[in-house]
Chain A
């Protein structure tokens, strides 16, 4: 209701944004504007005749139309159809209403603002970001500890950043809070691995780092989407009747003849916004109980109740076919829909690419895959922890900010809109960087979500996840197509 009043007020202002354009006219000019606007005829005796509409009859040298005549004191002395002889007229003015020039910019902003409002009202769960984000300039590098949405879930997260530009021996990374969340950042550590240009480094699921190099060519369907880390992603749409429905992506490689070391798959991926949607939907169902639920999560038993749903949705299963059976080698389940993360999945030493096909199994519409590359593991490697040289930000003193990030017993607390520039020592030469961030965040409740409070459906999410994923499927399908665009448009970041 309040929003309706605001928009009504805006429409009123748009309607009022008029200015008066008054021009003195000769009869010749007036003939070209026959009948337009309001005509003001100032007579030699000081009277004023205002006509609307009006007609100029040059043949008979007269003006006529309905209107009124005022004397010099501007008292109305005549109303109705008035006929004037042009010889009695001293001066003619044509008045017209025009859209005020000052309103042009406000009209444009109103249109854009209304579009955002409409999109957000129609789909509020698409409009708000998630978790701390890390940038180099405007380039989104990583999102930190996305799964740590409560104190009890505090964790650290290792994200692959790749090569970074250094200036004067320093690397600048911006850490932003771009959502309605409070971030509690315990640590941010930049790790560097020197290597020759063209080499690659990747982390496995345990966080161990490996030097790798390309070892084969992808032959499968979607090759053009999956063969390179180029941010051109493969993705599918969710099933319309069950959000837990799986899909299979077959992988076939031509292995390089000179690949002699152990092989692995290097997967670049991120989540779609399905998980964000379900997370926000869960908060909405919890409504006023959201705070108590967060408080109920304990560090020694951080079960959220949503484990059943998480299991049904699953991660990305990397499977191999052996003995007529598919075996899961590993399941990757990096949380976060913003930044692409890279993980390494070692393949069995005995893998025969001719007879043992590989595939990815994952929930339809839940993952975006940038690349699945076959690589050869050259060696394990160790990262260098690079010194944090300075922290710049809008809140607290520089010393306080640095102290918060350096002291493992303390958190740097950030609020929506705040950003910090972290300056780290750079590698001496070429290499890859990784970011390890630790902490947790707390999602803020939104007004729009409270309207959806429904304890019964919240309980169903926890205890009847399969049923819930079927029930929410049509609802999600209504917004799935536009979620990505609205989500990114509602942030500063670009994917």
Chain B
């Protein structure tokens, strides 16, 4: 109790542990994501155990189309082969919650004796919030979930003649 730091770190790491790593160009803040033309970064877990990742281009009842960083070529994955999908809708969430809780915990040095109560409250709230933040930022769903297409570059479906082979994936729209 006298040194809450190890507990703080341990609890907050619980939140970090389940946050997927997203390439920087796709790790956009909510306000940036609104103006971006690209799809969100997606992790597709297949039934054979392999996980593919890339920009979510399009999704329908039959297939998920993603654009990996390398090779930058569109890849179609049949929905029947997909076990689960995780979409990182935007950045923030767990990182913000952890930073917030950490700053709050440190600020309890100004509480004097009361920090014995307020620091653990910060730590526990931070751990719960960071876990909840991960769930809010990362959409974890089956491939048939209708929410999925909201985060695709082409929610209306791949346009005719779209050339994904030459797509760089970088956000030239920003």
Contacts and interface: CB of A to CB of B under 8 A. Distances in A.
Nearest to A21: B30
B162 A72 contact: yes
A45 B159 contact: yes
A332 interface: no
B106 A19 contact: no
Interface string B52-82: 0000000000000000000000000000000
Given A74-B171, A121-B110, A416 B2 contact: yes
Contacts of A128: 112-113
Interface residues of B, number: 61
A20 B36 CA distance: 13
Contact of B112 (A38, A76, A93, A127): A127
A101 B136 contact: yes
Contacts, number: 177
Interface string A101-116: 1110110011011001
Interface stretch (B16-24, B43-51, B150-158): B150-158
B2 A417 contact: yes
B137 A97 contact: no
A129 B125 contact: no
A129 B110 CA distance: 15
Given A70-B37, A91-B155, A103-B129, A10 B104 contact: yes
Contacts of A48: 37
A94 to B, nearest CB: 10
A416 B116 contact: yes
Interface centre among B125, B126, B128 (most CB of A within 10 A): B125
Given A22-B151, A110-B104, A117-B107, A127 B113 contact: yes
B144 interface: no
Greatest chain A CB density within 10 A among B128, B129, B167 is at B129
Given A20-B34, A74-B173, A109-B121, A101 B2 contact: no
Given A13-B103, A18-B30, A103-B129, A76 B173 contact: yes
Contacts of A90: 156
Nearest to A108: B125
A120 B159 contact: no
A93 B132 CA distance: 25
Interface in B119-174: 121-122, 125-126, 128-130, 132-133, 136-137, 150-151, 153-156, 158-159, 162-163, 166-168, 171-173
Nearest to B97: A102
Interface string A57-93: 0000000000010101111100000000000001101
Contacts of B117: 492
A123 B110 CA distance: 11
B115 to A, nearest CB: 9
B93 A50 contact: no
A19 B99 contact: no
Given A93-B150, A109-B122, A417-B116, A46 B159 contact: yes
A492 B120 CA distance: 14
A486 to B, nearest CB: 9
Nearest to A94: B34
A463 interface: no
Contact of A13 (B99, B163, B167): B99
A207 B129 CA distance: 55
Contacts of A19: 30, 90, 92-93, 136-137
A17 interface: yes
Nearest to A76: B173
Contact of B154 (A42, A105, A113): A42
Interface stretch (A1-9, A249-257, A347-355, A475-483): A1-9
B23 to A, nearest CB: 15
A6 B102 CA distance: 10
Contacts of B86: none
A113 B129 CA distance: 16
A117 B111 contact: yes
Contact of A106 (B90, B97, B111, B172): B97
A78 B48 CA distance: 44
Contact of A42 (B29, B36, B155): B155
Nearest to B102: A9
A36 B91 CA distance: 23
B159 A73 contact: no
Nearest to A73: B167
A490 B99 contact: no
Given A95-B34, A416-B113, A116 B173 contact: no
B112 A120 contact: yes
Contact of A93 (B2, B96, B155): B155
A93 B36 CA distance: 13
A75 B172 CA distance: 5
5 contacts: A9-B99, A19-B137, A46-B159, A70-B37, A120-B111
Given A6-B107, A17-B97, 6 more contacts: A16-B29, A18-B30, A19-B92, A46-B158, A46-B159, A113-B111
Interface of A: 3, 6-7, 9-10, 13-14, 16-20, 22-24, 37-38, 40, 42, 44-46, 48, 50, 68, 70, 72-76, 90-91, 93, 95, 97, 100-103, 105-106, 109-110, 112-113, 116-117, 120-121, 124, 127-129, 178-180, 415-417, 446, 489-492
Interface of B: 1-2, 29-31, 33-38, 89-90, 92-93, 96-97, 99-101, 103-104, 106-114, 116-118, 121-122, 125-126, 128-130, 132-133, 136-137, 150-151, 153-156, 158-159, 162-163, 166-168, 171-173
